[in-house]
């Protein structure tokens, strides 16, 4: 893996990556192996106890880099830098807890097996004239690349890596807590990275309550910097209608059907089926469901002899009505489901 500069890695402390027991995290997230599903990674909580490192104010920035195998034969890479207003201009009178809420770091991505490589870190960056604009730039470019679809992310990974390295590889940037980890085999669960050692924890257990990391007695973990994230899986993806290569073929298919061009519609239906089946962003069960839904609409609207379609309302791709339960799967939360 290669996101953080070597100087940052060499200076990193032996921090603890602690997997929370199922009863101590989320009841809806059962620990199990991920198989033939979509993989999701979510940031759940961040906390940085105040510590005056400089005489001036500083900004906090959470950076994550995630890499795994992808059906396109090019590894899927996702790089996200987030530094919302609540993490900027920190001084002694600011609250130690940084409330950012659940944030999607990667996925949904069809999981093909193999390792999940991850670098995640919470940085304190000295406030300077260029620090905040640079953070704004990295955050906006990362959001543009996205964490849901592989192709847009890959096109921006290199400039994002260069930008992140330029920002965090200086003496004005301090890695407060982080981890470089390879998960293999990949299992669902909730993980806390704490700026301490197992020995220092002395058997103390952590629990996650309303996106706040607490000790077993219910008191918040306020004295140890930490980052909490989850690895989750789903059997459907709620944003399937945003797949650009699939949506464009579907639009051409509907156009031919509405124009009563039966032969063209048949060819486009075959092309649509190939496109969906070969999409590297869909698992096989989802692909088959989408194809079946499109075929039903076309066959109902265009019998073999053809018919006038002026009175038939063929749905847009997003309105096909497949996977109505997809958005209710916990792993699919915070997905943009309507095409841009």
Question: pTM of the prediction?
Answer: 0.78
Q: Rounded to whole angstroms, what are the CA distances from 173 to 8, 90, 202, 234, 267? A: 9, 14, 30, 37, 57
Place of tokens 């919302």: 84
Closest CA to 186 of 22, 34, 29, 21: 34
pLDDT at 162: 61
pLDDT at 310: 47
pLDDT at 110: 92
Q: Residues 40, 232: contact at Cβ < 8 Å?
A: yes
**Cross-strand partners of 174:** 124
The one-digit pLDDT tens for each residue of the chain (340 residues) are 555 555 455 555 668 888 998 888 887 787 889 988 999 999 998 887 765 555 567 777 788 889 888 887 788 888 887 766 666 666 654 545 555 667 888 889 999 889 999 988 888 777 664 555 546 555 655 555 455 555 555 565 565 566 666 565 566 677 788 888 899 989 999 999 998 888 888 778 889 988 889 988 888 888 888 999 999 999 888 787 778 788 888 888 888 888 888 888 889 999 999 999 999 889 998 899 889 988 888 887 776 544 544 445 555 655 555 655 655 677 777 666 554 4
Q: Residues 207, 20: contact at Cβ < 8 Å?
A: yes
- What is the distance between the alpha carbons of residues 262 and 16, in angstroms, rounded to a whole number? 62
Closest CA to 70 of 105, 39, 103, 32: 39
């Amino acid at each position: 893996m290669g996101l953080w500069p070597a100087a940052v890695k060499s200076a990193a402390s032996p921090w603890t990556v602690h997997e929370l027991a199922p009863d101590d995290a989320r009841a809806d997230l059962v620990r199990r192996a991920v198989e033939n599903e979509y993989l999701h990674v979510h940031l759940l909580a961040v906390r940085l106890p105040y510590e005056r490192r400089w005489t001036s104010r500083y900004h906090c920035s959470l950076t994550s880099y995630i890499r795994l195998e992808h059906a396109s034969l090019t590894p899927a890479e996702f790089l996200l830098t987030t530094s919302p207003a609540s993490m900027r201009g920190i001084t002694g009178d600011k609250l130690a807890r940084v409330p950012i809420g659940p944030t999607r770091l990667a996925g949904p991505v069809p999981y093909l097996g193999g390792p999940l490589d991850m670098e995640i870190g919470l940085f304190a960056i000295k406030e300077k004239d260029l620090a905040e604009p640079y953070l704004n730039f990295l955050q906006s470019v990362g959001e543009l690349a996205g964490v849901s679809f592989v192709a847009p992310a890959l096109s921006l990974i290199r400039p994002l890596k260069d930008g992140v390295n330029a920002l965090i590889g200086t003496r004005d940037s301090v890695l407060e807590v982080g981890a470089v980890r390879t998960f293999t085999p990949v299992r669902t669960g909730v993980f806390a990275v704490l700026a301490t050692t197992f020995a220092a924890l002395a058997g103390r257990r952590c629990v996650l309550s309303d996106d706040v990391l607490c000790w077993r007695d219910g008191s918040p973990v306020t004295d140890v910097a930490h980052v909490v994230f989850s690895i989750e899986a789903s059997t459907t993806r709620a944003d399937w209608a945003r797949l650009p290569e699939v949506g464009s073929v579907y639009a051409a298919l509907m156009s031919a059907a509405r124009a009563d061009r039966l032969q063209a519609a048949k060819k486009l239906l075959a092309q649509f089926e190939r496109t969906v089946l070969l999409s590297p962003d869909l698992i096989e069960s989802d692909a088959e469901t989408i194809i079946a839904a499109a075929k039903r609409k076309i066959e109902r609207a265009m019998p073999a002899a053809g018919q006038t379609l002026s009175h038939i309302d063929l749905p847009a791709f997003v309105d096909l009505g497949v996977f109505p339960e997809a958005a209710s799967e916990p792993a699919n939360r915070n997905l943009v489901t309507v095409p841009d």
